Amino acid sequence: MKMQTNPSTRIRTERRTVIRNYIRLYLLLIRTSVRSRMQYRFNFAFGTVLAAIIQLSEFLMVAIVLAKFGAVRGWSMYEVGYLFALMTLAKTLYRTFGNEVHNLERYLVEGELDQLLTKPLPVLLSLMPRGFRLMPGELLQSGAILTWAMGAMMRSGQITWWAIPQTLFAVFTGGLILFAIGMATAACGFWTTRISMLQNMTEDAAQTAARYPLTLYPGWMSGLMLTAIPVGLVSYVPALYILRGELGVWVFPLLAAASCLAVLLALAFWRFGISKYQSTGS
Amino acid sequence: MISFRSNTRLYLALASKAYARNIQYRSSHLLHNFASAAFGYLYACIWIGLGRDHSLGEYGTHGMMQYITFTQTSLWVASFTTVGLGIPQSVRTGQISLDLMRPVHLFPHLMAKEWGQIAYQFLYKSIPIYLVMLLALGLTPVDGGRTLPIALLALAGSAYMGICMGYMIGVSALWTTESSWLHWSNQALMNLLAGFFIPLQWLPVWLQQIAWASPYPFMLYAPTQFYLGKGNPLNLLGTLAWCIVLTICCLLLTRVMRRKVEVQGG
């Protein structure tokens, strides 16, 4: 005799199976993407070394300013190093998984997005694994700067071992926030096709700005970086609590809520944008 | 033997076509200028913020605002050239074999196109960004603009060096699929060693030595010093010397490239 199941339970089970299948497929696509990159080992190693040089030169720009002037608005060299490393790690997390979202313009201009729309998968799911990027150069570089900065602050007693899990949490929420900003910016491309100019402001300029304490900027600019383009939540706000004990422990639930909200809003905007998308034609 | 001189009209035509192609998108590019000026404003804000707590040496806060205004403006001439002068794309599509077969040398051919692009960028990007930044920061041209001619002369040398470096990066596409990384590395080194954000005399001595052993300081730092009225005219000789060295490198690389190129598929 067949067992009668509750319809809502059945729907839940089906939904769970679908999500499990999506995750399995996502991992499979990532494996394929990594394997294809590894066909060109020299290129991969070459790109990794150059990425590390780029990171190093970017950090040197910040470090030289600090070495010359000592502190930035009361933030020591180690604290600013921490801000830099936190932002770079969060960006690495975002670009490792969401690089193709950042590169959406290419798909829009060349009409490749139309192919993805014909697949029986959500566009994001078929888009993201295509450009899964291993970024060991950035990871090593920012990891080394973070270790150096946190090591020095631990030795001086400014922070304790507790700062390590707190920092990892901030990297994770920061990665989500940057992904949300990147996705919302990319979604504008469904109307405008070209998004590089917008990305220059919402991603490149904003991330560069958040490597320094926000007190350095005029009030309207730091306000913008805490609300409309919330890069301040990636590095500055967590650093205020983790390094300086300012604000309060409520910073962590705030970061979790803000990152989830940012992703949900960006996802809703993405869905709305894709419903309005018109192909660029052939 | 491919003649350089007899093709002057061709090179002029290539440059003007590249200029005309870009001009079709000028309204969209003008929007782009807003983003670039925002970047410049951000860097200026960093120096303004630092200037509140520290004296900024021989420049002062006002001088650093002028410094950043000029370097941000100059990037569109000296640094933001076409990635690898379009060679990586030609390598991918196989077009490179046809380009090498043409009865014109590849280097001046691509250089002519890039000059058209740079002329466009100077008129429609550098100048508007310069004006926007002057307005946003409440500045006026240094010395009533009297330093501009020599600064622009040095900047023309920077543009030539930028073209040569772009060409060499482009040629590397014959050996690696990652030549875009070389482009980005070049940009990063430009920011650091050309004195885009930090004047070279503030770098540690070891880094200053590395910088001055490379062409980078002549690409941004030297023109900016001229603009600020602090430049030594002898620095123009350094620009000239690097232009000659880089030209020789490009010509030698083209020779190697001719032997390396292979066509795949059919």
Angle formed at CA B133 by CA A195 and CA B115, multiple of 5 degrees = 65
Burial B242-256 (b: 16+ CB within 10 A, else e): bbeebbeebeebeee
Mean per-residue pLDDT, A39-56 = 77
Q: Which residues of B touch A42 (CB under 8 A)?
A: 176
Quote the CA–CA distance of B184 and A212 in Å, as a whole number: 22
pLDDT at A83 (0 to 100) = 93
Name the pTM for this structure: 0.82
Q: Which residues of B touch A214 (CB under 8 A)?
A: none
Q: Select the residue of B49, B185, B198 nearest A54 (Cβ to Cβ).
A: B185
State which residues form the domain around B180.
2-263
Q: Which residues between 151 and 190 in chain A have a beta carbon less than 8 angstroms from any beta carbon of chain B?
A: none
Three-class SS state of B228: coil
- Residue B110: partners with Cβ closer than 8 Å, 6 or more residues away: B85, B86, B87, B167, B170
Q: What is the pLDDT of residue B191?
A: 85
Best CA proximity match to A264, nearest among A193, A162, A184, A188: A184
pLDDT at B6: 64
User: How many structural domains compose chain B?
Assistant: 1
Interface touch B198/A204, C-beta < 8 Å = no
What is the percentage of chain B residues whose pLDDT exceeds 90? 36
Chain B residues in contact with A196 (beta carbon < 8 A): 32
- By C-alpha distance, the chain B residue nearest A215 is B49
Q: How far is residue B141's CA from residue B149's CA, in Å, rounded to a whole number?
A: 12
CB–CB of B207 and A71 under 8 A? Answer: no
pLDDT at position B266: 47
Residue in the structure block whose two tokens are 């000026």: B37
Asked if A57's CB is within 8 angstroms of B181's CB, the reply is no
Which residue of B181, B183, B184, B205 is the best one to mutate when testing the A interface, meaning the one whose CB has the most A CBs within 10 A? B181
How near does any CA of chain B get to the CA of A32, in Å? 19
Confidence (pLDDT) at B232: 85
Return the closest-CA partner of residue B121 out of B80, B172, B178: B80
pLDDT digits (tens, 9 = 90+) for A216-225: 888 888 898 9
Close Cβ partners of B144 (under 8 Å, ≥ 6 residues apart):
none
Q: Is the ipTM of this complex over 0.85?
A: no
pLDDT at B10 over 90: no
Q: Does A45 touch chain B (CB under 8 A)?
A: no
A208:B39 CB<8 A:
yes
Residue A98's contacts (CB-CB under 8 Å, 6 or more residues apart) are A128, A179, A182, A183
- In the numeric block, which tokens belong to residue A217? 């900027």
Is the pLDDT at B65 greater than 90? The verdict is yes
Tell me the HSE value of A115 on the side-chain side, using a 13 A CA sphere: 9
Phi/psi of residue A195, each to 5°?
Answer: -130, 0
Confidence at residue B234, expressed as pLDDT on a 0 to 100 scale: 86
- In tens, the pLDDT along B95-144 reads 888 888 888 888 888 898 899 989 998 998 899 999 999 999 999 998 88
Interface of B with A (CB under 8 A): 28, 31-32, 34-36, 38-39, 42, 45-46, 49-50, 52-54, 176-178, 181-182, 184-185, 188-189, 191-192, 197-198, 202-204, 207
CA of A133 to nearest chain B CA: how many angstroms apart? 14
Give the whole-angstrom CA distance, residue B252 versus residue B258: 10
**A215 and B207: CB-CB below 8 Å?**
no
Is the CB of B197 less than 8 angstroms away from the CB of A53? Answer: no
Please judge whether A65 and B198 are an interchain contact, meaning their C-beta atoms are less than 8 angstroms apart: yes
Strands (E), chain A: none
User: Is the separation of the CB atoms in A184 and A123 below 8 Å?
Assistant: no
Please enumerate, as own/partner, the contacts of A63-72 that have beta carbons within 8 Å and a separation of 24 or more. A64/B198, A64/B202, A64/B203, A64/B204, A64/B207, A65/B46, A65/B50, A65/B198, A67/B204, A68/B198, A68/B202, A69/B50, A69/B53, A69/B54, A70/B54, A71/B53, A72/A212, A72/A213, A72/A216, A72/B49, A72/B50, A72/B53
Gap between the Cα atoms of A93 and A167, Å rounded:
14
